[in-house]
Chains A and B, each alone.
Chain A
Amino acid sequence: MNKRFAIYPTAEKRKKMATDNQAKKLSIIAFSGDFDKLTAVFTLATGAASVGYEVNLFFTFWGLDAIKVKQGRAPVGKGFLPKVFGVMMGGLKASPVSRLNFLGLSPKIFRYLMRKNHVATLEELVEAAKQLGINFYACEMAMHVLGLQKTDFIPEVKDVLGVASFLSLSEGGQTLFI
């Protein structure tokens, strides 16, 4: 089969493709702090960024756990209750699987299976997301509730936003809630 036809578009078509490319945008609201759902977030985000999409990740509520500087269980947050939450939820490395978590054993099994089968682990995907220049944003309201500050998050977090700013960022692209 001759694949050349499909991959050598005319100069005109290529110009049009480049113009269309500018409108390619994916925005994901990362609500969940679950290992499997975060894997979905970062798989979609890195895949989209690799094929030329502008990608915005908006972390809110439990999703904020994924972008904490402290990836384990640490008393992050201002005040007693936020600190308790901080320890109970932990960061990226402490994220549970949404089903059949087995008291934290499942994420370890998944990481093992992913490595064994040459599939990127969650940590590798997050690293790739940073390298690809994906935009990370944190939800202002959820941070306020959980007593978190911008300095509690990794430096790749570009800004702290509210709904209105997120809507204007995501306008004209595709939006997902995970």
Chain B
Amino acid sequence: MATYNLDVTKEHCPMTFVKTKIELNKLQKGDVLNVRVTEGEPLENIPKSAVEQGFTVLSVEPTEVQGIYSIRIEK
């Protein structure tokens, strides 16, 4: 059960979703992906689409940086 990190705060649509999805595809059951996202569309939709695709969203927490959040997704 490994933990991976991904930062998509510098990316824009659609690469925020694309990079997250490509990383999610690599996860084995029980693995966790930490994604750092900006507020707005990525924050609203990355957890939603992860759940829709059968992943579990463990948490969505603000980080030490204003406007940036960390999403923990488990396969």
Contact = CB atoms under 8 A, between A and B. Distances in A.
Interface string B19-58: 0111000000000000000000001010111011110010
Contact of A132 (B11, B18, B47, B51): B18
Interface residues of B, number: 22
Most buried by B among A3, A20, A51, A132: A51
Contacts of B54: 18
A113 interface: no
Contacts of A47: 13-14, 17-18
Contacts of B49: 50-52
A69 to B, nearest CB: 23
Contacts of B17: 46-47, 50-51
Nearest to A14: B51
B20 A50 contact: yes
Contacts of A20: 52
A6 B45 CA distance: 11
Interface residues of A, number: 28
A120 B43 CA distance: 19
Given A3-B60, A8-B57, A131-B22, A43 B14 contact: yes
Contact of A43 (B10, B13, B51): B13
Given A47-B18, A50-B20, A131-B22, A7 B11 contact: no
Given A3-B60, A7-B60, A51 B45 contact: yes
A21 interface: yes
A9 B15 contact: no
Which 9 residue pairs spanning A and B have beta carbons closest together?
Answer: A47-B14, A50-B17, A51-B49, A50-B21, A7-B47, A52-B53, A128-B18, A120-B15, A50-B18
Interface of A: 3-4, 6-9, 14, 17-18, 20-21, 43-44, 46-47, 49-52, 117-120, 124-125, 128, 131-132
